[in-house]
Amino acid sequence: MTAYMDHKDLANEIIDTERTRQIADGVHRVLDTIAQAEADAGRKAGSVRLLAATKTRDVGEIMAAIDAGVRMIGENRPQEVVAKAAGLQRLCAERGLSLSATDAAAEQSLPTPNANVAHIPFHLIGQLQANKIGKVLPVVNTIESVDSIDLAEKISRRAVMHGINVGVLLEVNESGEASKSGCDPAHAILLAQRIGSLDGIELQGLMTIGAHVDDERTIRRGFAHLRKTRDQILDAGAPGTEHCTELSMGMTHDMALAIAEGSTIVRVGTAIFGERAFI
């Protein structure tokens, strides 16, 4: 258990109006930044989706972001997924929204999927240990942090057992920084093709974390390479790779660069919620 989880009640649902306003302002600022970056890059409005990176934030804070227009959320740790899922699902249902309404969720008599209800995809964006797959699988729609065939096979076996299809992004370590997870870029295409062939998994795209440097050209080069890899996977047309379209890249400090290089999902925490107090 991570230490900050002892400090903060992540299931808390009540936040004050000042905090609610701060978060709403953050969401609106980020949506403006995305719209501007789309326009600057000559891309269609709405072609980039905002995922709110919600690690260390409680249910009340996350609902404030959803009320301000966030339509996709991402957690890093299985324990946080578990701590928040029931509260988020209930509060979303009260608003006529559905969160992670998978077949497995329906089995547990969570709100029924309904075509008229706006769906908020729930992603896992942090590293996943094999022994935690069972914790997150009924709840999250997509696991963005798959970086080995071994992990993909374990997710596949679980998904088949549950009778569900789980979305997967292949995480690629474009910066080569040793501190980062993600597969070697040289192996990404072959790995994507192997993952695409597994049952119970839909390969939806690629994910990367931008280089931790000041030089914009270096950061952009990594994003551009991820896009090129995605295009090569689609061009090769191996079975099970036809939905490999998403590029999850760009965070608070590099989202405009990522959008210029073709990002379809930006994962933003700090610019919405403020600096993290823990981790």
The residues binding ligand PLP (CB under 6 A) are 53, 55, 76, 125-126, 209, 251-252, 267-271
- 68 vs 164, which CB is nearer to ligand PLP? 68
**Nearest CA to 211 among 253, 247, 245?**
253
Q: Are 204 and 192 in contact (CB under 8 A)?
A: no
- Structure tokens that stand for 40 in this block: 């600057």
- 55 vs 135, which CB is nearer to ligand PLP? 55
Q: Smallest distance, Å, CB 137 to ligand PLP?
A: 19
Q: Smallest distance, Å, CB 237 to ligand PLP?
A: 29
- 90 vs 180, which CB is nearer to ligand PLP? 180
**Bridge partners for 238 per DSSP:** none
Dist CA 202 CA 160 (whole Å): 12
Amino acid letter for position 125: I
Q: Smallest distance, Å, CB 146 to ligand PLP?
A: 13
Q: Smallest distance, Å, CB 252 to ligand PLP?
A: 3
Question: Which H/E stretch holds residue 205?
Answer: strand 201-207
Dist CA 205 CA 228 (whole Å): 12
Q: Smallest distance, Å, CB 32 to ligand PLP?
A: 16
Strands 246-248, 201-207: pairing kind: parallel
Question: Which residue lies nearest ligand PLP, judged by its C-beta?
Answer: 269
Q: Break the chain down into helix, strand, coil percent, rounded to 5.
A: 45, 15, 40
Q: Smallest distance, Å, CB 145 to ligand PLP?
A: 7
- 15 vs 268, which CB is nearer to ligand PLP? 268
Q: Smallest distance, Å, CB 139 to ligand PLP?
A: 18
- Structure tokens that stand for 15 in this block: 């936040």
- 116 vs 179, which CB is nearer to ligand PLP? 179
- 89 vs 248, which CB is nearer to ligand PLP? 248
Whole-number Cα distances in Å, 12 to 16, 56, 85, 222: 12, 12, 12, 38
DSSP 115: T
- 158 vs 267, which CB is nearer to ligand PLP? 267
